[in-house]
Structure 1
């Protein structure tokens, strides 16, 4: 039998906030000298906010929210709002601008992460509970 390691929710929060701060720092830098292929920035937004949403799901899972709808609404909402804040923040950075399409890519990444969390984590926990309750 393997022993489960419990990670305190404060540590989970610190890791999530650290990652979010990394996004903030990255979006504060001047990227005018960086040349990327067309639309690759949308893929970057999609992936980085998908990862952020997985961190947020991890934090939210500490609070034993029974309603799956509320769980995903919180995780998705927090991540999407942070993406909106990040785009607003970029509007004040020289050589950067706010872009609704970037925010949509952030939001799509968050939605995909919620789906993946549901398929690989939340469903597995539910099926494991069913097996151990017998």
Structure 2
């Protein structure tokens, strides 16, 4: 059986890879979703880093036994550093536009994920308890 710590680490690394891939592909290769949502790309950045920060908080809590409040600065700092690195790479290597607003959306997604992490964990724990009760 694969240890839980490796599953959590793999999940986080795979998600970081998905974010990197989506931000690295040429803009011309991204299909137009035909949605009339203003600043849709900012919403996507927010969502990607929202999920990433929940994954990071979960992993940090399990791997290090840090309190949730101690995990938040790490997850938000990661959102800032990783989001900033992606924007720099988009500008210099991927020939895409780099935007400060994308980085701000990344950071805000990280903050929102940290703020909602306790609620997400509570609902996940209830769901798992209900599942195990049936079996």
2-structure distance, mates of 1:45, 1:83: 9
1:11 matches 2:11: no
- TM-score scaled to structure 1, two decimals? 0.76
Higher helix share: 2
1:57-100 Cα offsets, whole Å, 9 max, x none, are 1111111013x432211122112211111111111212x12111
| Structure-2 residue corresponding to 1:3 | none
- 1:120–1:18: structure 2 CA closer, same or farther, 3 Å change rule? closer
The unaligned stretches of length 5 or more in structure 1 are 1-6, 126-134
Greater Cα offset, 80-89 or 28-37? 28-37
State the Cα distance separating 1:21 from its structure 2 match.
Answer: 0.4
1:109 positional shift: 0.7
May I ask how many residue pairs the two structures share in their alignment?
A: 117
> Which one of the candidate residues 12, 25, 37 is aligned to 2:21?
25
TM-score (norm 2): 0.75
Residue 59 of structure 1 corresponds to which residue in structure 2? 59
Quick one: distance in 1 between partners of 2:104 and 2:61? 25
- The alignment's C-alpha RMSD in Å is 2.4
Equivalents in 1 of 2:71, 2:58: separation in Å?
11
Q: State the shift of 1:119 in Å.
A: 3.9
